[in-house]
Structure 1
Amino acid sequence: MKHTIAQLKRGERGIIEQFSTEDIPVKFQEVGCLPGNEVQLFQFSPFNDLVYLIINDSHFAIRKETAALIEIRRME
């Protein structure tokens, strides 16, 4: 079963596996949103349309629909 960043719960971590570079903005790739890197879902925005992530000690927000395009392997 494939999982995405959008399916993580607050505090959960995963390893980025793949995504289409056409769908993910370059600025996210530049801060480390790349296959093999660990991602942690830090929190959701008040209206649940953004997810706040930590990747490579960088904190940033990404739209939930974009997060749904980034496949991960959940960490136990």
Structure 2
Amino acid sequence: MTLDQLKKGQMAEITGYRLGNAAYRAKLLALGMTRGVQIKILNVAPLGDPFELAVRGFHLSLRRDEVSVIKVKVLEKGDVK
């Protein structure tokens, strides 16, 4: 599953990245979006783009095509750290 498939309010853990642009993946890693990090979908714009995320204590807005490369595992309430 990729991050763009989640809905507002859902939480997930990053499990990896789809193959593709290595430079963009490096940018995400530099922002702290590494494997095992938990992400919450705070908001999705009315037309589905961009996504507002909470990750490592900060808010980040990314376009749908950007979040579609991030592989995640959906977390249930008991799994959230």
Instruction: Tell me if the contact between 1:31 and 1:55 (Cα under 8 Å) persists in the aligned partners.
Output: no
Whole-Å Cα distance in 2 between the matches of residues 24 and 51 of structure 1?
17
2:54 matched to 1:54? yes
Unaligned runs of 5+ in 1: none
Percent identity, aligned pairs only, is 21
Instruction: Tell me if the contact between 1:6 and 1:64 (Cα under 8 Å) persists in the aligned partners.
Output: yes
| 1:16, distance to aligned residue in structure 2 (A) | 0.1
Give the count of matched residue pairs: 73
Matches within 5 A, 1:1-76: 3-19=1-17, 20=19, 22=22, 23-24=24-25, 26=27, 28-76=28-76
Secondary structure at the aligned position of 2:7 is classed as coil
RMSD: 1.7
Secondary structure at the aligned position of 2:33 is classed as coil
Whole-Å Cα distance in 2 between the matches of residues 57 and 42 of structure 1?
12
More helix by share: 2
- Residues 55/12 of structure 1: CA separation in 2 closer, same or farther (3 Å cut): same
